[in-house]
């Protein structure tokens, strides 16, 4: 979770082969799954949103599972606000269409 805007946008391009400037949110999670960073482009610059859980963890693909997952707005909202609702998120890619 040490990467900032430049590091995360470079990862989106080089590791996931996606355009960080597209109308999407890119969500990253730490190993303990208790912190999220969301990178998004907004017309003239990037935004980073950071969320840290005091208890519990976010449902996230285990190592060996797919590294990316596509979420719609409702699923992203469930991930952020209700990390205990693990069964609702069953997609293969981790990139959020808006």
Condensed to tens digits (0 to 9), the pLDDT of residues 33-56 reads: 889 999 999 989 999 999 888 888
Q: How would residue 79 be classed by pLDDT, with cut points 50, 70 and 90?
A: confident
Return the higher-pLDDT residue of 66 and 68.
Answer: 68
Q: Kindly tell me the number of DSSP H helices and DSSP E strands found in the chain.
A: 2, 5
d(CA 23, CA 11): 17
Question: Structural domain of residue 43, as residue ranges?
Answer: 5-97
Q: Using CA atoms, how far apart are residues 96 and 38, in angstroms rounded to an integer?
A: 10
What's the number of domains the chain is made of? 1
More confident residue, 88 or 28: 28
């Amino acid at each position: 979770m040490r990467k900032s805007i430049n590091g995360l946008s470079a990862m989106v391009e080089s590791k996931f082969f996606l355009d960080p400037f597209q109308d999407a949110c890119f969500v990253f999670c730490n190993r303990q799954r208790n912190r999220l960073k969301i990178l998004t482009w907004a017309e003239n610059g990037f935004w980073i949103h950071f969320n840290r859980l005091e208890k519990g963890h976010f449902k996230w693909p285990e190592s060996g599972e797919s590294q990316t997952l596509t979420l719609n707005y409702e699923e992203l909202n469930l991930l952020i606000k209700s990390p205990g609702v693990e069964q609702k998120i069953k997609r293969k890619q981790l990139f959020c269409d808006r």
